[in-house]
Structure 1
């Protein structure tokens, strides 16, 4: 027996050997289509990466990221109670959401007076926490009130950790309105808060992400915003060192862990490049994170716990200094104590039990993350330069150039959602029509498009949710949902795969499937359809069975009164089926939203 390390008994692992093994496993399948994916920006995500060479990467300061909780209850007394509960339960940062902020979603605090602000923070010891203001266009006024509150309470400004969240350009992106003279007001606020710890200006990515921006577009918009604030502060008489220290950024974290980690790493690299161009020695940028609004769903909202936990973990691993996670019921209304506790505890588990914050940059040296970080940085820098050539962020927004680029990406993403290339668990995939209502303190107002001139804000699941809402309304009105009769041909073993697929697909639009064990006789099939009371039918079986039985089955269903007939599958020859009465085909990759909208209309006739 050889006395050698086990690894030496095997041939060295090489990319060529791996590729050969992959080709054998694919059995002629296309490597590019099967194993290589692309991001919204066209970046390739390979199945395998080489170890990366060491790259100097700016990182978060040692220690865990801050766990920040939104405070958005309209009642100041209840908001203060929520804040204290969150802080006692493990949070160490708060985000005060003004009722006029885009992020308020119909709720938020009245922060129009010093007493109102004081009441919302009653019992909260500001020197012990980090505080961020989310006030939108009311940012300057709210910041001035916060300064008065600090003075009233006699707190030491140097002991505070504040993010005033002033983002007039972000407000312009969200609302279409840019405050005149914002540059001077921003400069005056920085002067007013001299001696305070924290940041004054915030380059906020949320308006762009909610409009459908890609990672590159989000990074470029944030970078252009931060540079605009840098210029404004320098023009206002602040040296670049002080101006740099007054700026923070907020990026959006979603459930794509690879792109989120790479994006958060990229913003630090990009900002260091700006600092170097300004002749400054790079310092750690304050990077805040909030989980994505656009990924939240109203249907099967418990899945949001998984989404926000993955997003929080990815932001923390990517180097965020503070993470605000949306409670899982945020899209439904004002979250209750349970939802707030769940989202708080999820981060506590990530930080305290999973120890994800023990390493400042765990992605360092990983080939995939290093490659994505570098590619994102380069493409974002190129788009940032393009925005600068257009005259800066405000000019690009006014001209519609940036909005047009974002809209093009959003349109492609909407198509991916419609075809389920980008699946939404609980909404477009694995819907549950019998789900029970989830408790919230108050139901959210109807979502509306932002004012003209502002970027749109839309969750990805909204089109499917609209169909489900219409189905619920029908159920409430007549006691039953729109239904589709599954015309299963042959035994269960033959039709089960497609009948299950069809039932789930129709359920995504609120259409209930009427199942059965299958039929071998067209006459019996037609009688069962009549007895079901449905107006829609969907043929489900194997391709082999379709060749001989699909046409007579479709003719029998049509004669029995089927308003619309679908077939689960994508047959190569469809002319005979269409002539027999088959209206459409349900298959993986079809435009499911279009099919469901049409089916819902037929079901209601």
Structure 2
């Protein structure tokens, strides 16, 4: 018997084995006394440390999918008109998608659009030509989710399909809908009873489910951190398990009725770790229930809050990073937000790009060929474990809110605990966005004032008349399926609200909105607002700060052209600079130059510009020159880390005095 050959090449013996101490010594040499923690250690929104270097790890548990392989490429069916929705959906299926998510009008994810289907005939028309036994179908959570589920079941009956052969996620999520709308149509016990009755009716007809979706998008869009998204999702899951168990389901049946929808954001490390943590936490909950754990049914959707209206082409990059992260993190299906989604209903081109983003990663990058590729990476394993711990702690905190028969998550929503916690998280992130510590490419950084318009469908948002429903008992779900299949309208399934709960609805926000509002204000002006960049000295001296100032002001829609300067004899021709300011028509001038130039002629330039009628700012931190520059007429200083939203708001007020009155 021979031993295996040593895989280490002989020449490697000539090199010393690297150690952490040696690496740290080399880093300290480069830092030259700089603070290691501040320079190289970052922290997530939950305070989790992100180290610059990790040792390899051996995971104790693997967050694996039920079946390794390709994830489902999911397209949205969300056009209000059934005929148009059908054309778009078939194009998606013919172009490589193998799953459809139906977003009915009223669904939060429909963004004001969504399929209008008053009866099964309209739904049938929207899905005409789609072979339901060959694709996966999902329903987006919506206020009338129970009726939507029964309507889809009626379509299956009408087409004579076998429910057992279909893959349908019915997407009922009353907790998520409650969080997003602020209203629950009945008491929680009654909602749980109706949910259980609907699931029983669907199971009796042979549908396998899942039937309930734990959708974390409402939390994410309201500003949730990764741990909050996990914790609130887990708390919702526990509420559903208890409600179904109270209605007579075994815990195993209740478990199998639940799927999950999580958000894939633009931070690939945190997204991958979050999805892996979600699977591990679900396993832990099942174990606590005495169940033999089964893999989570996990769908991922790229983040709504990361999308921008300005320079929307950058959304293609955001969607690609998020999709990559979802695939590596182990999603069973992925929906990619069209890059124009923040501007309106996506056309065929934007939808094609969305599905092709997935197809390229599947077919060309072959991401699906490795199960849990993050396993063993010290960074991913550490982040995953940290999110497991913090997500579990968030869930426990919500569970402690349980009171008066209400589960923790419902009690926390009605008491405002969740809203307060998310509000604090939003404020912290808003500050990071405003100061550009979290830059948004194309919006807060590197804006493009000459960007070309993109196309969206010319479709008006859907106006939904609120229906109070019929008073009285809840219709029997099985009988209602039969009536809907025979042509009854969905109105028959609606019940008048009774003893419902109320809470403050969670907002749905995008991170870029503060900067977009500034751009919109600038675009509304009759004359394009402009800032005069008063450059001091030769080009080499002012270029860096002039570039910074231009980038900053253009993020608010203010043009800030950078010229060749006004250099004269090693200094600045102040007469030429002042004349150029007067000719520019600007009200605001920003001095741009080196520290030496500010010391030598900053005060004189400020005085000259002030005399010419300018409000004078200066790019950079003034240091010891602040008092002298202020006395000379400099009113404000703009620098890296300043509150850009506040600065740009003031700049627009100066540049557009008629709009600020």
Confirm or deny a common fold (TM above 0.5).
yes
- Counterpart of 1:353 in structure 2 is 364
Q: How far 1:75 moved relative to its partner?
A: 1.2
Q: How does 1:308-347 map to 2 (within 5 A)?
A: 308-347=319-358
- Counterpart of 1:501 in structure 2 is 548
State yes or no: 1:547 paired with 2:599.
Answer: yes
Larger RCO, structure (CA 8 Å, separation 6 or more)? 2
- Counterpart of 1:197 in structure 2 is 208
- Counterpart of 1:219 in structure 2 is 230
- Counterpart of 2:617 in structure 1 is 566
Q: How far 1:364 moved relative to its partner?
A: 0.6
Partner Cα distance (2:541, 2:114) in 1: 55
CA contact (8 A) 1:201 1:248 kept: yes
Pick from 82, 87, 90 the counterpart of residue 88 of structure 2.
Answer: 82
State yes or no: 1:17 paired with 2:64.
Answer: no
Pick from 38, 57, 62 the counterpart of residue 52 of structure 1.
Answer: 57
- Counterpart of 1:27 in structure 2 is 32
Pick from 555, 558, 566 the counterpart of residue 511 of structure 1.
Answer: 558
Pick from 522, 531, 535 the counterpart of residue 587 of structure 2.
Answer: 535
- Counterpart of 1:603 in structure 2 is 655
Distance 1:454 1:315, change over 3 A: same
Pick from 202, 214, 219 the counterpart of residue 208 of structure 1.
Answer: 219
- Counterpart of 2:144 in structure 1 is 138
Partner Cα distance (1:399, 1:221) in 2: 15
Q: How far 1:118 moved relative to its partner?
A: 1.0
- Counterpart of 1:373 in structure 2 is 384
Q: How far 1:435 moved relative to its partner?
A: 0.7
Partner Cα distance (1:200, 1:309) in 2: 29
Q: How far 1:547 moved relative to its partner?
A: 0.8
- Counterpart of 2:523 in structure 1 is 472
- Counterpart of 2:115 in structure 1 is 109
| TM-score when normalising by structure 2 | 0.88
Partner Cα distance (1:384, 1:424) in 2: 31
CA contact (8 A) 2:212 2:259 kept: yes
Pick from 159, 167, 170 the counterpart of residue 173 of structure 2.
Answer: 167
Partner Cα distance (1:192, 1:358) in 2: 38
State yes or no: 1:524 paired with 2:567.
Answer: no
Partner Cα distance (2:261, 2:268) in 1: 17
Secondary structure at the aligned position of 2:623 is classed as coil
| TM-score when normalising by structure 1 | 0.96
Partner Cα distance (2:194, 2:135) in 1: 27
Q: Which moved more, 1:570-579 or 1:38-47?
A: 570-579
Q: How far 1:521 moved relative to its partner?
A: 2.2
Pick from 42, 45, 49 the counterpart of residue 47 of structure 2.
Answer: 42
Q: Which moved more, 1:248-257 or 1:54-63?
A: 54-63
Q: What residue ranges of structure 2 are gaps of 5+ in the alignment?
A: 1-7, 403-407, 463-501, 567-571
CA contact (8 A) 1:514 1:532 kept: no
Secondary structure at the aligned position of 2:637 is classed as strand
Secondary structure at the aligned position of 2:301 is classed as strand
Pick from 609, 631, 647 the counterpart of residue 579 of structure 1.
Answer: 631
1:132-190: CA deviation from partner (whole Å, max 9, x where unpaired): 11141110001011111111111111111111110000001101011312101111122
Partner Cα distance (2:208, 2:223) in 1: 34
Structure 1 segments (4+ residues) deviating >3 Å: 443-446
Partner Cα distance (2:325, 2:592) in 1: 41
Q: Which moved more, 1:241-250 or 1:115-124?
A: 115-124
- Counterpart of 2:468 in structure 1 is none
Partner Cα distance (1:32, 1:178) in 2: 47
CA contact (8 A) 1:72 1:98 kept: yes
- Counterpart of 2:254 in structure 1 is 243
1:443-483: CA deviation from partner (whole Å, max 9, x where unpaired): 7769xxxx971011110001111111111111xx3xx3100
- Counterpart of 2:482 in structure 1 is none
Partner Cα distance (2:124, 2:538) in 1: 70
Partner Cα distance (2:172, 2:106) in 1: 14
Partner Cα distance (1:525, 1:452) in 2: 58
Distance 1:542 1:444, change over 3 A: farther
Q: How far 1:197 moved relative to its partner?
A: 2.7
- Counterpart of 1:154 in structure 2 is 160
Partner Cα distance (1:189, 1:8) in 2: 68
- Counterpart of 1:92 in structure 2 is 98
Partner Cα distance (1:357, 1:215) in 2: 24
Q: How does 1:413-452 map to 2 (within 5 A)?
A: 413-442=429-458
Secondary structure at the aligned position of 1:128 is classed as coil
Partner Cα distance (1:7, 1:444) in 2: 67
CA contact (8 A) 1:326 1:343 kept: yes
Q: How far 1:30 moved relative to its partner?
A: 1.3
Partner Cα distance (1:89, 1:25) in 2: 51
1:359-414: CA deviation from partner (whole Å, max 9, x where unpaired): 12001110000000000000110110110011110000111111111111110000
Distance 1:4 1:362, change over 3 A: closer
Q: How far 1:198 moved relative to its partner?
A: 2.9
- Counterpart of 1:271 in structure 2 is 282
CA contact (8 A) 2:215 2:233 kept: yes
Distance 1:514 1:175, change over 3 A: same
Partner Cα distance (1:8, 1:513) in 2: 59
CA contact (8 A) 1:203 1:222 kept: yes
Partner Cα distance (1:452, 1:198) in 2: 30
Q: What residue ranges of structure 1 are gaps of 5+ in the alignment?
A: none
Partner Cα distance (1:532, 1:329) in 2: 35
- Counterpart of 1:281 in structure 2 is 292
Q: How far 1:115 moved relative to its partner?
A: 1.1
Q: Which moved more, 1:547-556 or 1:192-201?
A: 192-201
1:50-93: CA deviation from partner (whole Å, max 9, x where unpaired): 00123212311211111101111111101011111101100000
- Counterpart of 1:399 in structure 2 is 415
CA contact (8 A) 2:82 2:117 kept: no
